[in-house]
Structure 1
Amino acid sequence: MTSADAHDPAEITRRAEKIIAGGETLTVEFKRRQTPGDFPDDKLAATVACMANGEGGTLFIGVEDSGTITGCAPWNKKKGITEPSQLEASIQHRTVPPLACRAQLLVLNGLEVVQIDVPKSATPVATSTGLYQRRTMQVSGGPECVGMEPSYLFSRYNSANARDWSTLDAVDAATDDLDPAEIERFRRMVRTRGGDDILGDLPDEDILRALGLFDDGANPVKLGAVLLFGTSDAVHRWIPNHEVIFQVMDGTAVTVNHRTTAPLLAVVDDISARLDVQRTEDEITLGMLRVALPNLPERVSREAVANALTHRDYTDLGPVRILLDRRSFTVSNPGGLPRDVSLETIIEASSPRSPALAGAFKRAGIVDRAGRGVRLMYQALLTSGHGEPDYSSTTDNQVTVDIPVSGTDREFARFVAAWQHDHGDLDVRDLRVLHTLHEEGRTSTDRLTALLDEKPDRLRRILHRLNDVALVETIGRGAAREYCLGSAFYDTVGRRPDFIRSQSIGDVRARQLIQAYAAEYGTVTRAQAAETCGLTGPATYRLLKSMADAGELVKHGSTRNTYYTLPEG
């Protein structure tokens, strides 16, 4: 929507009708108000505060849960009118901190409806009576507001104010509550995993200080120090919610069921050893080059487990769960995504819930020190012929990643290995596009955008870059434009004839492409149809004549200026 559209009443009405037609979601709420008592000011404040504690969104007052527009009773009884500015003031007066919303009075189907645009709040918002709620989805599928439990509220405040929970005091803890063997484990990791060499030879206390987990205060030992290096009793006392469950399933049978509350570095070594037993490996050869195709790349499992351990919310109940079965490797942890991270930005974003814990893992050499862990997971999976990690089961309360371990795509792995051997590494976004085209075949821009959850402008740049090196082929133009793997891909995997065959286009699809072109641009010429469908001149002539004879197109003119349009009506 342009800035002009944003103030156009007709456009505002059309947009509201479209949103209402989509029904209630996490960011859309309907409220009945056929009488003032149906939805008074206190309920208004509670509803907008709840939405602000989620993703924000749009509240429509005067609309039933079903989406039926029934109208909003006037807010000002004396004047018999609703004044948006008074609603905005009422919301600010009844929320803490004051929440600035935008209210509008619309007329839909001849009835007044109030639209309130609610911003997402970085810090928790309460009503003036102290009610804290957040937006979530019911099991039945509809949205609802539920109370914020203390642990969730504490986590939100810490996140909003950039507080690192792991650097808080472990009240009454002393260095005797830390296990020297665990600090020695840290030193060993530094030396063997390529960590921060400076820390390898420091005394115990200096290591703790360097990690930001020890100071000269009344309570020098911090919670993060206990979580990383604490004795069993200390972890149980100061980090009572810490628990990791590791399971291996064979069909419906549980073959491994392991529970641990050991300090984090010990957990890393323990889970790594248990996963190593479960790894299998296929391989491909490129001349003298052998390329391993593990069912679960070590880097992927290491990053996934480390992310769960360092980014989980330790103020929340529940264990970190690690499950391996024939199909997938799944890791879940309590607490939603960290501040400033979303499913859309998860590949690039690096905003740990606890910078101190994440820093300790980086300096030990457990995870990538540049904060590219998720990006490297994608890259390792795609280069080894697997699909992408799937975060779609993630909620406000839990992060879940599902990693495929079966169904290796040997051809795609062969292509990546050969191409990168000759041309250098492919960017992870290039890999995602190529892998999707390999799975989907010829695909439109809109579908690629949806499948990859990628920004359209960035996707166009990626496709243009891949087209320049013949890894992607562009077919058609405008709304009919599609993409498929290019000649360089087929040449690399030794299937050039398949590329040639892929360029032929069926009659039905050609008709659809020509009709789509005519619908977008109003007319289509023979040359434009040939370019859109990749057909020869004679083939295009025969197809256009057939479509005109069938009434699918209307022919105009009879010379070189001939063009075609869609039939009216």
Structure 2
Amino acid sequence: MGRIKNEYEILKGARDMLLPKLMSGALDVSTQGGRNMSQEGQLLDKKSLRTVTGNTANWKELAKDCIAFANAQGGRLLIGIENNDDVPPVEQRIDPGLPDLIRRKLGERTVNVTVLPEIRQTDNGSEYIDLQIPRSMAVASTPDGHYFLRVADESKPVVGDEVMRLAAERSALPWETQTTLHVSRGETDPQKLATFVAGIRASDRVKESVKEKSEDELLDHYLLAYGKWLTNLGILCVGRHQDRARLGTAPVIQFIKYDEQRKKVNKIAWDDFNLTPMELIEAVWREVPDFRERYELPDGLFRQHVPLYDEIVVRELLVNALAHRPYTQRGDIFLNLHPDRLEVVNPGLLPLGVTPQNLLHTTVRRNEHLARIFHDLKLMEREGSGYDKMYEVLLSQGKPVPEPKEGPDRFEVTVRRRILKPQIIDFMAKADQTFQLTQRERIALGLLAQHEALTARELAKALELSSVDVLSPWINRLLSWGLVLSSGRTQATRYFVDPDVLRRLEFPASTTLQRIEPHRLQALIVEDLSRYPRSAGGEINRRIGAEIPYKQVKRAIDALIAARQVLFEGDKRGRRYWLAK
């Protein structure tokens, strides 16, 4: 522990110097009046006001969350908003002295943690505390030496050797924003800069105010330049190839094809540093002919074509390899194509807190600013949905799920080529068309269709869930529709797809609005209020479909209110709704 404390003292000055810069760009979640505060996750958590007031105050738990955020990417705690709510209770007021109390209490219980509490007011007049926690420049902990890290929506303890790994992975300045090569901001590759700017301005994920920025302003906005120098990220994305080579850790990709005897029969390398990470993704997909091979499956009088390796899966594997690799470590990315599988090998270990067993539900971005660029250019999602999408695509094609594996100094993902059950392809397509399945339901149904039966415990393990108690959102509707059958009780419950249904593709496809998707329900409510303004919730429910549960309609109305599309007056049964202008 003495070594850690020495690092605290060394990095304390750097933290104080860089804190203003950090606060300007470290937190990527915005708050606007009474809008939906977003869901709890890697950068956000909600706490009841009871956590910091009265006899129920739990300062120890609050300190743990603050330490976890500080050791990750920073984040926000919305105090005064319950977990299942988007806005604080009506007429809730915050004691003006509470922010100072929070600063003092957390200051006594944390080391290397900065907290910035502020009272905010929503459109309905209620108040809550927006507690911002910047990313700490040194390792954050409790005074008695306990460490925590934010992983997805949980604050997990860091113990044993992981403490030293946490200290080693942290630096006073992230690799992306360093300017150690002293490359002038004017020494960009004109063509690559023009391509980057055009992609940003054409993206529907970028705000209009950002699209209006000049090329030079966009360099600053995406941290591609700082002052008069290009950052490492800038050299990587818009720099010249000779400067990219000088980085030492710019990505190199090698595609190697093996035959049945594990002999190399083809090799393609992208090792001249001419391409940016964004261009590498397109080049690999375009220049490897094996990725365009397809199966031909009989489909009545026609043929159904299924790719050996789906484009979505290959691109997602490449994006993950480029966006999440440690750029402080040398090593090539390998695409090893065997007769029965594709292996993607990336140098470096997974980020701390992520394991092969929790990839499906965990979001940790090692390179925050590169991930932001990939997101804005529509190359990836920032919500950690990449593996979910791969699961969905592979299962819908009757193939096994990806197989992640972590080695001593590398991370590897294997995708199998073989289709386990060709009939699953038609089954999944028709089931989705008939019942409009959610992504979770498609994944669960695909897993069950590939196996004769899975117990509740086996299914939870396959879905990387913590317990069988959280299976409900994945399978409840499948059970109610008869797509999935069950036998037994509790953890011994066995789930399976009726073989006759799988063979005949005959579903009980009765039409009902009970399965309507949330966005479609919201559209119905908007249309109804445009014709009948100042309506009560029950009146809306009766007009758009009495078979829809009122609670479901109420949730949709609350979401529209949070998005400022619907206004209201009154309370409980006397509440009336109308469209905002």
TM range (shorter): 0.5 to 0.7
Deviations 1:285-306 (A, max 9, x none): 8899996522111111111101
Residue number in structure 2 paired with 1:230 = 239
* 1:12-91 equivalent positions in 2, closer than 5 A: none
1:483 alignment partner AA: Y
More deviation, 430-439/416-425: 430-439
CA shift for structure 1 position 234 = 0.3
Greater length-normalized contact order (CA 8 Å, ≥ 6 residues apart) = 2
Does the alignment pair 1:361 with 2:374? yes
CA shift for structure 1 position 278 = 3.0
Is the contact between residue 390 and residue 402 of structure 2 (CA under 8 Å) also seen in structure 1?
yes
Does the alignment pair 1:186 with 2:224? no
Of the three residues 111, 115, 120, the one matched with 2:158 is 120
Of the three residues 410, 424, 429, the one matched with 1:398 is 410
Residue number in structure 1 paired with 2:423 = 411
CA distance in structure 2 between the aligned counterparts of 1:329 and 1:340, rounded to whole angstroms: 26
Deviations 1:85-120 (A, max 9, x none): xxxxxxxxxx9988758xxxxxxxxxxxxxxxx962
CA distance in structure 1 between the aligned counterparts of 2:240 and 2:498, rounded to whole angstroms: 58
Is the contact between residue 250 and residue 326 of structure 1 (CA under 8 Å) also seen in structure 2?
yes
* 1:247-266 equivalent positions in 2, closer than 5 A: 247-251=256-260, 252-260=263-271, 261-262=273-274, 263-266=276-279
CA distance in structure 1 between the aligned counterparts of 2:399 and 2:323, rounded to whole angstroms: 26
CA shift for structure 1 position 353 = 0.6
CA distance in structure 2 between the aligned counterparts of 1:425 and 1:294, rounded to whole angstroms: 23
The unaligned stretches of length 5 or more in structure 2 are: 1-138, 147-155, 509-581
CA shift for structure 1 position 229 = 1.8
Residue number in structure 2 paired with 1:511 = none
CA distance in structure 1 between the aligned counterparts of 2:500 and 2:212, rounded to whole angstroms: 51
TM-score, normalised relative to structure 1: 0.55
Q: Secondary structure at the match of 1:175?
A: coil
1:410 alignment partner AA: P
CA shift for structure 1 position 307 = 1.1
CA distance in structure 1 between the aligned counterparts of 2:257 and 2:199, rounded to whole angstroms: 26
CA separation of 1:417 and 1:271: change in aligned 2, threshold 3 A: same
Q: Secondary structure at the match of 2:312?
A: helix
Is the contact between residue 471 and residue 487 of structure 1 (CA under 8 Å) also seen in structure 2?
no
1:183 alignment partner AA: L
* 1:211-360 equivalent positions in 2, closer than 5 A: 211-216=222-227, 220-240=229-249, 242-251=251-260, 252-260=263-271, 261-262=273-274, 263-275=276-288, 278-282=291-295, 292-360=305-373
Of the three residues 441, 460, 485, the one matched with 1:473 is 485
Residue number in structure 2 paired with 1:206 = 217
CA shift for structure 1 position 164 = 3.6
CA distance in structure 1 between the aligned counterparts of 2:160 and 2:195, rounded to whole angstroms: 38
Is the contact between residue 178 and residue 231 of structure 1 (CA under 8 Å) also seen in structure 2?
yes
* 1:147-162 equivalent positions in 2, closer than 5 A: 154=168, 156-158=169-171
CA separation of 1:363 and 1:450: change in aligned 2, threshold 3 A: closer
CA distance in structure 1 between the aligned counterparts of 2:247 and 2:270, rounded to whole angstroms: 19
Larger radius of gyration: 1
- Tell me the number of residue pairs that the alignment of Structure 1 and Structure 2 aligns: 356
CA separation of 1:326 and 1:200: change in aligned 2, threshold 3 A: farther
Of the three residues 482, 501, 526, the one matched with 2:494 is 482
CA shift for structure 1 position 439 = 2.9
Deviations 1:293-338 (A, max 9, x none): 2211111111110111111001112112222232222212122223
Q: Pairwise CA RMSD of aligned residues?
A: 3.8
1:185 alignment partner AA: T
Is the contact between residue 185 and residue 265 of structure 1 (CA under 8 Å) also seen in structure 2?
no
CA separation of 1:481 and 1:360: change in aligned 2, threshold 3 A: closer
CA distance in structure 1 between the aligned counterparts of 2:194 and 2:415, rounded to whole angstroms: 32
CA distance in structure 2 between the aligned counterparts of 1:192 and 1:274, rounded to whole angstroms: 25
